[in-house]
Homo-oligomer: A and B are copies of this chain.
Amino acid sequence: MPLTENRRGGSDGLLESLAAVVGDRHVIVAGSDQEPYVVDWRGRYRGSARAVVKPGSTQEVAAVVKLCAGQGVAIIPQGGNTGMCGAATPGNGEHNVVVRMDRMRNIRSVNPLANTITVEAGCILAEVQAAAATVDRYFPLSLGAEGSCQIGGNIATNAGGTAVLRYGPTRELVLGLEVVLPDGQIFNGLRALRKDNTGYDLKQLFIGAEGTLGIITAAVLKLFASPRSSALALLKLQSVEQALEVMRLLRDAVGDRLGSLEIMSRGQIEVIAETVPHIMIPFELTTPWYLIVELTDALAGTDLGGPLEEVLVRAFEAKLIDDAVVASSEAQARAIWSVRHSVSEGNKRSGYVVSHDSAVPLERQAVFADNVERRIVAAVPHARVVMHGHIGDGNIHMIAILDRARCSDAEATAALVRQINEIVDDETAAQGGAISAEHGIGLANRGRLARVSDPFEIDLMKRIKTLLDPANLMNPDKIFAVE
């Protein structure tokens, strides 16, 4: 359909200009065609857009931004639209242009010598992982949405995932960035340098800024040696403290061969057992906590099972663990991981989910989890509190599952959610934590952040925002509201 027929009536100079830049078929104006782009994937946030545009190059992104900026139109950068906090959803009103990065999907180069890969922002995360694997290298960022999320979005949200313990969050994987700023200028920071001390490290501004300071168009990322040996065990424990003591033994014994350390509460696994029919729980539930331990090594044929079993014996003797299942095959390891990977699906199926993403100092996790559970259950007796998380990162997800039958009244439910959020946020702050460890702020957590943050920090963020985007047109109202 030509653009003119799609238009919602009248001549629209901006749309014509956008089409002149990116091509007619890359400007989407019909309401139904826009649907995938104006609602977040969980259906919690809905906005509207004058157009969704899909530029095919950095220059086209810059031209689109300049056109929008020239007309005072808000720009909403969007990757795979898999975010947890609505950071890629436009607001209401007809003055938004969503900029989708799908067409910038080239792996520009892979360099196994320098251990770098240069990618365009629209590359799917799984494609980046695969491109690294073709040269026997490893891109460690890994998360549930990796089959559809885009690397530009991962960088803009400083994505976490299951490999943070060993490799750090996305920020630590970025060597260089190319960014289109709110005025359409291009920041050419696409350098493949391991070391660069020539003044302020400007690229840091855009990592984790959720698209509020510009549109990331390309990146140089770090690659690593591929893991070629691994060993996995599931441990049964009485407490979070014991899990941390096991972590200490593991670190003392194998250093950074400790690749993953994922904890689940018994209630979390019970929810999966009850609601996810295709998942078999390959161990009996006999203790309150379950810890997946995975060791990995870049050297093929490294004996990791031996050191792992030694640590387990010591943990047994120190009464840190009640039982342990060491995976004897790749299939058994996969079966154990599949439980961990089913937490979101299980929770969703079992009720109305109020999930949290706090990080607290490692040694505060036990008291944090206890306090939160006790207070939520006291405040909302029908809530079921389950927990899972990246315990080596201090990132324990507290999940309150509400009885759906009691959540029919939207307003009452919203009040309950608010109450639960405040419990979690206050306990997070009391333990010196952050209310968002890896999911970000977006629209979802703006009010919560404002409530618990040092006003000075929010003010400094706003001043930086205003410096780069004085008209407040680049993904406005995400993270914080600019007055």
Q: Which residues of A contact B (CB under 8 A)?
A: 111-115, 136, 157-158, 160, 164-165, 168-169, 171-172, 185, 187-189, 191-202, 204-205, 207-209, 224-226, 244, 247-248, 251-257, 297-299, 307, 359-363, 390, 392-395, 432-441, 445, 449, 453-454, 456-458, 460-461, 463-464, 467, 479-480
Let me know if B248 and A195 touch, CB within 8 A.
no
Return the contact of A432 from the options B172, B192, B257 (Cβ within 8 A): B192
- Given A164-B195, A195-B390, A299-B307: 5 more A-B contacts, CB < 8 Å: A187-B457, A195-B437, A196-B434, A198-B449, A200-B479
Whole-angstrom CA separation of A111 from B364 in the bound complex:
12
Return the contact of A202 from the options B438, B445, B461 (Cβ within 8 A): B461
Let me know if B195 and A395 touch, CB within 8 A.
yes
Residues of B with C-beta under 8 A to A434: 191, 193, 195-198
Whole-angstrom CA separation of A224 from B185 in the bound complex:
40
Which has the most chain B C-beta neighbours within 10 Å: A199, A200, A251, A255?
A: A199
Let me know if A440 and B197 touch, CB within 8 A.
yes
The 10 nearest A-B residue pairs measured at CB:
A255-B298, A225-B255, A204-B204, A195-B437, A114-B362, A196-B434, A194-B393, A197-B436, A195-B359, A193-B359
Residues of B with C-beta under 8 A to A188: 454, 456
Return the contact of A458 from the options B169, B199, B204, B248 (Cβ within 8 A): B199
Let me know if A254 and B299 touch, CB within 8 A.
yes
**A144 CB to nearest chain B CB (Å):** 16
Whole-angstrom CA separation of A353 from B187 in the bound complex:
35
Let me know if A361 and B196 touch, CB within 8 A.
no
**A216 CB to nearest chain B CB (Å):** 14
Return the contact of A200 from the options B112, B157, B208, B248 (Cβ within 8 A): B208
Let me know if A441 and B298 touch, CB within 8 A.
no
Residues of B with C-beta under 8 A to A257: 298-299
Whole-angstrom CA separation of A113 from B456 in the bound complex:
31
**A334 CB to nearest chain B CB (Å):** 23
Let me know if B224 and A256 touch, CB within 8 A.
yes
Residues of B with C-beta under 8 A to A457: 187, 189, 199, 202
Known: A255-B225, A255-B299. A113 touches B195 (CB 8 A): no
**A83 CB to nearest chain B CB (Å):** 11
Whole-angstrom CA separation of A251 from B479 in the bound complex:
40
Closest B residue, CB atoms, query A361: B192
Let me know if A113 and B191 touch, CB within 8 A.
no
A-B contact pairs, 13 of them (CB 8 A): A111-B362, A136-B252, A189-B457, A191-B434, A193-B433, A199-B208, A200-B209, A202-B457, A202-B461, A204-B205, A256-B298, A257-B298, A463-B467
Let me know if A113 and B362 touch, CB within 8 A.
yes
